Each structure stands twice: as C-alpha cells, then as structure tokens.
Amino acid sequence: MASLFRAYGRGLGALLLAIAALWILALILVPLGAMIEQSLWWKDSKGEITLQIDRLYNDMATLQLDASGESDAAKKAGFEAQIAQKQAEATALEAQETNPPKTYGLANFTRMSGLHFYIFIRTIIYALMVTALALVVCYPMAYAVALASGPRKAIVLTVALIVPYAINELLRVYAWLMILDYRGVINGILGWLGMVDLDNRGWIPFLENPSAVFLAMIYTYVLFMVFPMVNTLETLDRNQIEAARDLGASSFRIHRRVIIPHAKPGIAVGCIMTFMLSAGSYSVPAIMTRGQGGDWFSQLVYRQFFESNNWNMGSAYAVSLLVVCTAFILIMMRLFGVGLRDIAK
Amino acid sequence: MSTANDSAGARLILNIYIGLFCLYLFLPLAVMSAAAFNSYDYPSVTQWRGFTLQWFVALAHDGRLIQGLINSVAVALGVIAVSIPAGLAGALILTRLGQRSGTVLYSVLVSPVLTPGIILGISSLIFWREFGVPGGLFVAVMAQSSFIASYAMLLFLARLQRQDRTLEEAALDLGASHMLVFRRITLPFLAPTAFTAAVVAFLQSFENYNTTVFAIGGEWTLVTEIASRLRFGLSPVINVVGVIFVALTLVAATTYVLLSSRKKAR
C-alpha cells in the first residue's frame, strides 16, 4: 500500500484505490452477497393464506345468517363477537397476504424437486462430457498450431481459429441450428438422396438429441480449450521431443511422457474454462433445443426468474451452480498443480 | 507442418485432421452466409430458390433489430467507460502490492472471469433492484463490466510487467509531480494497451448473451433480440446479420494480418 502512494502520490493513489474498491464492492462482492442472501429466504406462498381468508369470510357469512335469524339478544351478541373476531383475523391475514413475512433458512435448496435435481446432476455430467470431448478434439489442433514451423503457417492457423471466435456466439449457435433443424441442411441433403421424406415430416430430429447441444457447445467454446494449450505448448523446447525420438520413443510415448506433462497447466485452464462456460451456458441449450430436447439447468434458472417469478428459488439454483463450478475449479487446480495466476494468462 | 523427424504418415494424418477441424469451424459459417442470399423464407441452402438481396432490405426496415443494434453499441460504450478505468486501477494497485495481499486481491478481481455468465447477470439484477433500478441497459452495463473489467486488468497487468520503473522514479527525483509523471510517462506507456482493452471490451460486450439476458429486463440488445426471435423460428434476416458479422470480422482480421506483417517487414 505504501509503495502505491510513493509511486503515484496521495491524491492519485487514493483515486485508484477508490475506483478499485468501487469495482470490487458494487460490481463483484455485494451483488454476489445479494444473490446469496436472496437464496436464503422466502415468503410463504400466497395461495394458502388466500384460502384461509376465504374460509374466514365464509364462516362470517354463515354467522351473519345465524345472527340475523336469532331473536335472543345475548346469543346475537355472541355471534357478533365471533364475527368481529374472525374479521380481525382476516384483516391480519390480508396484511400478510399483501406483504408476507420473510423466513430465513435453507429450504430453497432442499425444496428442489426430484426432476430439477436430476436435471442439475445431468447438466454437470453433460458439462463434464463436453469438456472431455473438447479436450480430445482440441489437443491435436493445439499441438499442430503450437509446433507449426513457418511463421506464416502460425499466423494463418491463428487467424483461422480467431475468425470464428470473433463472430457472435449466438450466430455460431444459429449456424448449427440451421444445419440440424428439421428442414435443415443435413435433413435437406438426406432428402435429396431419398433417405428421409421431408414432405411427410419424416426428418431425423437431430435437435431433440442432447448431442446436438454438445456439438454446438464444443463449436462455441473450442477456443477456450485451444488457446491455453497453445500458450503452454509454445514454450516447449522442441529439442526435448527430438531427444526423445532419437532415444527411440514412439510418437504415443512422446506425447504421454513429454508433451502432455508440459501442457498440463494449459490443459487445466482449458478444462476449467470449458466446464465453467458449458455448465453455465444458457444460450446454447436454449436456442438449440427450443424446449424440444432435454433442459439444461441454466434454463431452469431462467424460468425460475422470469416465468415462475420466484427469485428466491432462482437464486438458490444459481448459487448451487456457482458452488459446483467453484468446486470444479478448485479440484482442477489441486489436481494439476496450477495457481490462479496461471489461469488468467 | 510439425517437427522435422515426424514420419510422413503421421504428418498426413495431422494435416487431414487440421483440414477437418477447419471445416468444422468454417462450414457452418459458410452455410449460414449462403442462406442469407436465398430467395426462400426459411433459411436453407438445399432448397435454392434463386439469388436475392431482399433479406438485406428486410433487415434495414426492421425497427427492433436496428434499435437493438443501437442499444448494443450504447451498452458496449458504457462497458468501456466503466471497465477500462476499473481494470487500470486494479492493475496499477496489484503491481505495487506485496505478494500476500496481492494474491488475495488478485483472486477477487479475477473471479468474475471464472464465474458463469448467468450468475453475474443474476447477481447484478438482484443488487440493483435493491436500489430501485429494474433490469435494463444500465444493469446490463454493470453486469458485463464486472467481468470485462477483469479482462482489461489482465491486459494492463501483462503490459505493466514489461514496464521500466526507473523512468518514473527518475522523473520523480527530478522534481516532477506525481500527476505529471502519471500523465507523461505511465499513461502514454499504457495507451496502446488501453486501446486493445477497449476493442476487446467492445467485442465482449457486443456478443454477450448469457449475462445480458438476465440483466436486460424489458429492453433488448441486438443479441437478445435475435435470441428471442429464434424461439419462434428461423428467419433469413438473422442470416443477413450473420453475413454482416462474418464480413466485418474478415475485413478486420485481414487488416490485422496485413498490418502486422508489414510491421515485421519493416
């Protein structure tokens, strides 16, 4: 802290600190805290209270009827007292109905229905599968780019990788939607070949299969896997590979013993980014399935917020997702022995 | 392609693989672009009804998409305005901090990059509602800035690692004020990075969907508008938007390659 003021002076140093503090508080920590807080309370459902109020008014109407048919003054007063008491109860409940009290607890987490919990687990498994597939698909590519010889080749390959990335994520998903849709490109070609009958809805429903989401997701997040690996592989001394080869190691063995160990931090970072992005992706499953394939957890979160209008439950779902992602990051960091500074390169 | 001692067979397989990989990357974009010129009201390349530019005209008359574009640009500019100063401040502080306190601060400032986008959107939405600000363009700016500022900070940090601090110290010894040193030495040194960071921030903001969709409320950006239309079906107008993006990206990438190769030649 002292060296900051020494370098930039009191005024400027304080300004920098203020800006950073504002960023941390207003954009990162307090919003996160607000979300967690929101997930920890709920207001009792209005339906029950409304029912109680209705019942009280029914009782009052019956009592009213009894009272008006009653000639005995004492009994009549008794009825009237009962009516007044019920009215007071109803008024209190009505106040609760418009502004139910907050109750704190973990119920938002434990109340997750069986189906939603199943989708939660399935999303995690799907995200792990996407990550593993992306790793397998991207490793040869990263190897080729990192060890490409001519500088021109490296430029071309880098551009070839960056150009698709620079195009909107949504539009990349859209391109796949077009290809895999009922009347999409693949079904169109199959129709040409006479293998499916488009006129009678005899198309193959690719989009109803989870692998359609996988395909688009790997396509969308491929670069987050490739780049970290390229970064680490570029620092590999090629003499190591040649030495291993001269000593008679097979290609497979060289990859297993020389290249992959060197690429470890890159693999870890690529897996962390891909898992985080795919587990939390709303765009890809929402657009690819359009409600016709299996839901991903992010879609449930969205619905809790904007269709059920239950922000507390939605926050609890979001917190659950965050916990899983954080756990995955910590496990990967431990397994691969990488620090936070390696991740953010 | 690869190391000199690779066998020809292995090299061939690798080259075929790279070819397939590039096909995987580019074919969908090519298909999407081609369908934008098809005179058929469902985006398709297999049902070719003749070349047309009618969807470009349709896009030009599409008020909501145009407004979405304007909103997207406005949000992106807002994100630049918030995240560049924040990222700069964070980076300058971090380079002057000791190892231990630095690591804690670093973890906090980098954490948004590792947080799923929907969570950033949700937490901003909830946070700003406490102040009576409903979801909208402003909340979208705040939600996006939380992680884009981290990207900006990482860029500044990388640049600051190559900084020669003796320059600043010499200027201070010669009696320059802190403000003057900052303005005349530190800022000019960081200016190219600030430009890069602004471009990155703009692109990140412009294409962001997962965070924005939660924070945007009743308003819309180009991307959220496209997404909500896709629920009801595909339209070649969306393909036209895609073509424009592809064209702009290609132009930008080519310019970049040409510029950097010229720089190298010099």
The structure tokens listed for A81 are 């007292």
Domain range for residue B77? 64-234
- pLDDT of B78 reads 97
Instruction: Between B72 and A237, name the one with better pLDDT.
Output: B72
Any CB–CB contact under 8 A between B160 and chain A?
A: no
Task: Please indicate whether, in this complex, the C-beta atoms of A188 and B46 are within 8 angstroms of each other.
Answer: yes
Task: Please indicate whether, in this complex, the C-beta atoms of A279 and B210 are within 8 angstroms of each other.
Answer: no
Q: Is B168 a member of any domain? A: yes
Mean model confidence pLDDT for chain B: 88
Give the Cα separation of B12 and A38 in Å (integer): 57
Q: Which residue of B has its CA nearest to A141?
A: B18
- DSSP E strands in chain A: the ranges are 41-43, 102-104
Any CB–CB contact under 8 A between B100 and chain A?
A: no
Give the Cα separation of A141 and A135 in Å (integer): 10
Residue B264 has pLDDT above 60, yes or no: yes
Residue B76 pLDDT level (bands cut at 50, 70, 90) = very high
Any CB–CB contact under 8 A between B259 and chain A?
A: no
Lowest pLDDT segment from A8-12, A158-162, B36-40, B101-105: A158-162
Give the Cα separation of B240 and B54 in Å (integer): 10
Nearest to A8 by CA among B15, B179, B114, B159: B179
Residues of A in contact with B246 (CB under 8 A): 167
Please indicate, yes or no, whether residues B209 and B132 belong to a single structural domain of this protein: yes
Task: Please indicate whether, in this complex, the C-beta atoms of B209 and A283 are within 8 angstroms of each other.
Answer: yes
**Number of structural domains chain B divides into:** 2
Please indicate, yes or no, whether residues B92 and B136 belong to a single structural domain of this protein: yes
Q: Is B151 a member of any domain? A: yes
Residues of B in contact with A304 (CB under 8 A): none
Cα distances from A26 to residues A2, A209, A239, in angstroms, run 25, 41, 50
Q: What pTM did the predictor assign?
A: 0.87
Q: Give the pLDDT mean for B2-22.
A: 74
Q: Is B77 a member of any domain? A: yes
Residue B5 has pLDDT above 50, yes or no: no
Per-residue pLDDT tens for B215-233?
998 899 999 999 988 887 7
Please indicate, yes or no, whether residues B11 and B71 belong to a single structural domain of this protein: no
Displacement of CA B15 from its chain's centroid (Å): 30
Cα distance from B222 to chain A (closest Cα, Å)? 10
Q: Is B150 a member of any domain? A: yes
Task: Please indicate whether, in this complex, the C-beta atoms of B29 and A343 are within 8 angstroms of each other.
Answer: no
Cα distance from A219 to chain B (closest Cα, Å)? 7
Per-residue pLDDT of chain A (345 residues; tens, 9 = 90+): 678 888 888 889 999 999 999 999 999 999 999 999 999 988 866 667 778 888 888 888 888 888 887 778 888 888 888 888 888 888 888 777 777 778 888 888 888 888 899 999 999 999 999 999 999 999 988 888 887 766 666 666 667 777 777 778 888 888 898 888 888 888 888 888 877 777 777 788 888 888 889 999 998 888 889 888 988 888 888 888 888 888 988 888 888 888 898 899 999 999 999 999 999 999 899 888 876 777 899 999 999 999 888 899 999 999 999 999 999 999 999 999 888 777 665
Cα distance from B170 to chain A (closest Cα, Å)? 11
Residues of B in contact with A29 (CB under 8 A): 108
Best-predicted range by mean pLDDT (A101-115, A160-174, B93-107, B137-151): B137-151
The structure tokens listed for B56 are 């470009």
Any CB–CB contact under 8 A between B154 and chain A?
A: yes
Q: Which residue of B has its CA nearest to A306?
A: B214
Give the Cα separation of B79 and B232 in Å (integer): 30
The structure tokens listed for A23 are 């960023």
Any CB–CB contact under 8 A between B238 and chain A?
A: yes
Residues of B in contact with A153 (CB under 8 A): 1
Task: Please indicate whether, in this complex, the C-beta atoms of A28 and B35 are within 8 angstroms of each other.
Answer: no
- pLDDT of A184 reads 83
Interface test with B, best of A6, A22, A23, A136 (most B CBs within 10 A): A23
Please indicate, yes or no, whether residues B70 and B200 belong to a single structural domain of this protein: yes
Please indicate, yes or no, whether residues B146 and B15 belong to a single structural domain of this protein: no
Any CB–CB contact under 8 A between B78 and chain A?
A: no
Please indicate, yes or no, whether residues B114 and B13 belong to a single structural domain of this protein: no
Q: Is B265 a member of any domain? A: no
Residue B214 has pLDDT above 50, yes or no: yes
Task: Please indicate whether, in this complex, the C-beta atoms of A9 and B28 are within 8 angstroms of each other.
Answer: no
- Confirm if A174 and B226 have CB atoms less than 8 A apart: yes
Task: Please indicate whether, in this complex, the C-beta atoms of B113 and A344 are within 8 angstroms of each other.
Answer: yes
SS3 A149: coil
Residue B2 pLDDT level (bands cut at 50, 70, 90) = very low
Residues of B in contact with A282 (CB under 8 A): 117-118, 209-210, 213
Q: Is B51 a member of any domain? A: no
Cα distance from B217 to chain A (closest Cα, Å)? 10
Q: Is B253 a member of any domain? A: no
Nearest to B125 by CA among B110, B109, B111, B142: B142
Per-domain residue ranges of chain A? 44-101, 109-343
Task: Please indicate whether, in this complex, the C-beta atoms of A31 and B126 are within 8 angstroms of each other.
Answer: yes
Per-residue pLDDT tens for B43-68?
877 778 888 888 999 899 999 999 99
Task: Please indicate whether, in this complex, the C-beta atoms of B179 and A192 are within 8 angstroms of each other.
Answer: no
Class of domain A109-343: mainly alpha
Any CB–CB contact under 8 A between B110 and chain A?
A: yes
Q: The domain spanning residue B223 has which CATH number?
A: 1.10.3720.10
Q: Which residues on neighbouring strands pair with residue A317, listed in sequence order?
A: none
H/E stretch holding A103: strand A102-104
Please indicate, yes or no, whether residues B18 and B84 belong to a single structural domain of this protein: no
User: Cα Rg for chain B, rounded, in angstroms?
Assistant: 23
Q: Which residue of A has its CA nearest to B97?
A: A1
- pLDDT of A297 reads 92
Per-residue pLDDT tens for B233-261?
788 999 999 999 888 888 887 887 787 77
